């Protein structure tokens, strides 16, 4: 894996490459804890970069068509193409400097015109059920590239939406390692968010509006006691913690509080 400062530098370089498209994109995935801690919550002492992949969500776009698609723009820069199907030129996944995958995600109902006019049909698009929830509950965050002295305004899911969506969809992941990552993202928010009460209040509102009513049962199966699978997965993914004496108990108590809210 690349050194952390190189990964961080590549991330900001990608933002610069996409700066004219950022209003239409929503950052998701493993960079969200980094954005929350460094820019939204102003807790720069928490150093968390858990991925090299850079994932952007997108929905239907409003306004005039861009002169160039994202593929048109990035294919002229330092990105390599990796084919997703043997024997076919497209679609491809683009890799910044040949090392950092930049991927795009949307929901099944997206129009073909949006893909063709914004992203470009040459790029591989990941289609995810219930993904539009994140796009409909996003917030703008101003972030700074201290090395280059540049600021960007990017969109990412509201912490409450990211938390609730992970709780609803972690079981959809193909393998246990990805489930563990999703649950650990949830624990990160539950532990470090300075406005936990507000976040849980918003989660309660999502539940009351009928979103993801299977979430309580999903979480209860994984966190109904300290030795449940969810607690063990998060503990292993988190690793040693010098600040918490009983990490597993902390995980259990924080998820128990969340479960109480989503159960109503």
Give the model's pLDDT for residue 4. Answer: 82
Q: What is the pLDDT of residues 186-236, one digit of tens each?
A: 999 999 999 999 999 999 999 999 999 999 999 999 999 999 999 999 999
Contact (Cβ atoms closer than 8 angstroms) between residue 167 and residue 216: no
Q: Strand 150-157 to strand 100-106: parallel, antiparallel, or no bridges (unpaired)?
A: unpaired
Nearest in space to 230 (alpha carbons), one of 243, 210, 215, 241: 215
The mean of the pLDDT values for the chain is: 94
* Joined tokens for residue 156: 């990412």
Q: Which residues pair with 143 in a beta bridge?
A: 152
To which H or E segment does residue 25 belong?
Answer: strand 25-28
Whether the CB-CB separation of 152 and 19 falls below 8 Å is answered with yes
pLDDT at residue 5 in the model: 81
Please state, in angstroms and rounded to a whole number, the distance separating the CA atoms of residues 257 and 190: 9
Confidence grade of residue 2 (pLDDT, cut at 50, 70, 90): low
63: tokens are 């306004």
Quick check: 1 pLDDT over 60? Answer: no
Nearest Cα to Cα of residue 30 among 8, 12, 52, 15: 52
pLDDT per residue as tens digits for the range 106-159? 999 999 999 999 999 999 999 999 999 999 999 999 999 988 899 999 999 999
Report which of 186, 146, 151 is spatially closest to residue 169, judged by C-alpha positions.
186
**Using CA atoms in the order 6, 131, 93, 99, what is the torsion angle rounded to 10 degrees?**
10
- State whether residue 31 is helix, strand or coil: helix
Strand ranges, E, within 5-71: 25-28, 54-58
Supply the pLDDT for residue 45.
64
pLDDT band at 47 (very low <50, low <70, confident <90, very high): low
């Amino acid at each position: 894996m690349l050194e952390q400062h190189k990964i961080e530098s590549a991330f900001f370089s990608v933002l610069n490459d996409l700066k004219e498209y950022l209003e239409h994109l929503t950052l998701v995935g493993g960079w969200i804890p980094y954005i929350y801690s460094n820019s939204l919550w102003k807790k720069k002492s928490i150093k968390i970069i858990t991925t090299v992949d850079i994932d952007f969500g997108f929905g239907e776009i409003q306004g005039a068509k861009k002169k160039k698609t994202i593929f048109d723009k990035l294919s002229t820069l330092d990105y390599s193409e990796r084919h997703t199907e043997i024997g076919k030129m497209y679609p491809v996944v683009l890799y910044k400097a040949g090392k950092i995958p930049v991927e795009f995600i949307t929901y099944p109902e997206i129009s073909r015109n949006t893909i063709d006019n914004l992203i470009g049909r040459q790029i591989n698009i990941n289609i995810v059920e219930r993904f539009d929830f994140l796009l409909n509950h996003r917030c703008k965050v101003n972030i700074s590239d201290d090395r280059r002295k540049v600021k960007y305004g990017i969109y990412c899911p509201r912490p409450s939406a990211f938390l609730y969506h992970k709780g609803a969809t972690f079981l959809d992941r193909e393998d246990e390692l990805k489930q563990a990552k999703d649950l650990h993202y949830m624990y990160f928010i539950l532990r470090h968010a300075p406005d936990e009460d507000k976040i849980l209040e918003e989660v309660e509102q999502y539940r009351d509006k009928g979103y993801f009513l299977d979430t309580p049962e999903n979480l209860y199966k994984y966190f109904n006691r300290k030795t449940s699978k969810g607690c063990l997965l998060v503990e292993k993914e988190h690793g040693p913690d010098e600040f918490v004496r009983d990490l597993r108990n902390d995980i259990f108590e924080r998820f128990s509080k969340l479960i109480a809210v989503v159960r109503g």
